[in-house]
């Protein structure tokens, strides 16, 4: 689907734009970073509000946006909603972004430590 130097079909372009739009909010990126540590069980909305300093309705809104973009799954457990990462979504996103990056001598290998705030 993602091929460097090729014109992507409309569906692929829409999918990438949808995911990038969801990631365009720093709060959503912070919420995703919390889910990385939550594992397969995911995290309850009630566990996400404190670390980002936002109310439950605000966090729920952000999580719904991430779910609509196909980046997280939502599971209702009693009173609370639990969210978990969709691993394949990020694999596809990484492939799409890699396809957009021309390979040069200076960037021929990616170093995660170059990402600000990333735990390596």
| pLDDT above 90 as % of the chain | 47
Confidence of residue 94 (pLDDT cuts 50, 70, 90): confident
Please report whether residue 27 resides in a domain.
Answer: yes
Please report whether residue 15 resides in a domain.
Answer: yes
Q: Give the span between the Cα atoms of 72 and 89, in whole angstroms.
A: 8
Total domains in the fold of the chain: 1
Name the 3-class secondary structure at 94: helix
Q: Give the span between the Cα atoms of 43 and 74, in whole angstroms.
A: 10
Q: What are phi and psi of 75, to 5 degrees?
A: -135, 125
Please report whether residue 106 resides in a domain.
Answer: no
Identify the domain containing residue 77 by its residue range.
10-95
Please report whether residue 114 resides in a domain.
Answer: no
Please report whether residue 111 resides in a domain.
Answer: no
Report the predicted TM-score, pTM, of the whole model to 2 decimal places. Answer: 0.74
Residue 81 sits in a domain of what CATH number? 1.10.10.10
Confidence of residue 115 (pLDDT cuts 50, 70, 90): low
Please report whether residue 104 resides in a domain.
Answer: no
Residue-wise pLDDT for 12-59, tens only, equals 888 888 888 998 999 999 999 999 988 888 999 999 999 999 999 999
Please report whether residue 102 resides in a domain.
Answer: no
């Amino acid at each position: 689907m993602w091929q460097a130097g090729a014109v992507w079909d409309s569906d692929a372009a829409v999918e990438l734009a949808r995911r990038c739009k969801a990631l365009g909010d720093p709060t959503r990126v912070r919420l995703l970073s919390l889910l990385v540590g939550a594992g397969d069980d995911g995290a309850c909305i009630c566990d996400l509000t404190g670390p980002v300093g936002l109310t439950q309705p605000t966090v729920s809104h952000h999580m719904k946006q991430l779910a609509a973009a196909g980046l997280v799954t939502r599971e209702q457990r009693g009173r609370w909603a639990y969210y978990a990462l969709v691993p394949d979504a990020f694999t596809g996103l990484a492939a799409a972004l890699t396809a957009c990056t021309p390979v040069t001598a200076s960037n021929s290998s990616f170093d995660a430590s170059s990402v600000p705030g990333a735990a390596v």
